[in-house]
């Protein structure tokens, strides 16, 4: 289902060294804070649309809340993250039966290649805006749309122009986000533009779009 071009050892080390920085903390601190957070409510909005089982890929899976949630439902899940520490945490949260349904893949989102019409669900929760460049993002977005089966669902976030991280992450206007979704059927679209805090408790202004969209059957 998931495919990538094999790298030499030198290319692999170069790729891993260019992983994105966490804007407010170390990734280790973020993982320790995030593991105690509940599953994001957006997944509960998605749940009524899901079949009893299927194939999913989680791009930038972090500590694996969505991976565990889907694996417990009997889904096959490809869990992708560029950080080895994140994948170790995901593995530690899975029972033996669930481990048989989860493939852990250490890969940057920029390097992900997805076989067409493979997944019933593609997740990119709070991860797309860490991609290294707009061109790389557009390539990844094309992979996501191609990788969805007809009738499959995308769940993820896009960062808006007013966000405090706008100087260090990829941001998009509402019209740009709507353009990205033009070939999909929008199921849920929520724009949040307000003060809040990060997972590690740092004050932050969030401008973010929470999206669920369906690929036409």
pLDDT by 10s per residue, the chain, length 217: 655 333 333 333 333 445 788 887 788 988 998 998 999 999 999 999 999 999 999 999 999 999 999 999 999 999 999 999 999 999 999 999 999 999 999 999 999 999 999 999 999 999 999 999 999 999 999 999 999 999 999 999 999 999 999 999 999 999 999 999 999 999 999 999 999 998 888 899 999 999 999 999 9
The length of the chain is: 217
Distances (CA, A) of 173 to 72, 125, 170, 210: 36, 18, 11, 13
Rounded Cα–Cα distance for residues 57 and 193 (Å): 28
Q: Count of domains in the chain? A: 1
Tell me the whole-structure pTM to 2 decimals. Answer: 0.90
Query: Residue 195 belongs to a domain with what CATH number?
Result: 3.40.50.150
**CA proximity to 110, closest of 16, 178, 27, 34:** 16
Cα dihedral across residues 42, 67, 50, 123: positive or negative: positive
Contact by Cβ (8 Å): 27, 92:
no
Strand 76-81 versus strand 55-59 pairing type: parallel
Contact by Cβ (8 Å): 140, 128:
yes
* Tokens coding 112: 């992900």
Where in the sequence is the domain holding 178, given as residue range(s)?
A: 2-214
């Amino acid at each position: 289902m998931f495919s990538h071009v094999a790298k030499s050892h030198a290319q692999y080390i170069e790729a891993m060294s260019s992983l994105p920085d966490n804007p407010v903390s170390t990734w280790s601190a973020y993982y320790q804070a995030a593991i105690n957070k509940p599953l994001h409510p957006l997944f509960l909005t998605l749940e009524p649309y899901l079949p009893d089982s299927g194939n999913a890929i989680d791009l930038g899976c972090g500590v694996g809340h969505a991976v565990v949630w889907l694996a417990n439902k009997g889904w096959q899940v490809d869990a992708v993250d560029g950080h080895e520490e994140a994948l170790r945490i995901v593995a530690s949260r899975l029972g033996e039966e669930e481990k048989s349904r989860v493939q852990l893949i250490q890969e940057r989102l920029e390097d992900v290649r997805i076989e067409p019409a493979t997944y019933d669900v593609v997740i990119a929760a709070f991860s797309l805006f860490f991609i290294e460049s707009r061109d790389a993002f557009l390539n990844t977005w094309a992979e996501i749309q191609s990788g969805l089966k007809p009738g499959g669902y995308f769940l993820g976030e896009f960062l808006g122009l007013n966000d405090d991280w706008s100087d260090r992450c990829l941001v998009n206007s509402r019209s740009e986000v709507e353009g990205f979704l033009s070939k999909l059927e929008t199921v849920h679209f929520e724009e949040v533009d307000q003060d809040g805090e990060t997972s590690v408790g740092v004050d932050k202004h969030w401008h973010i779009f929470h999206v669920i969209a369906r690929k036409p059957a």
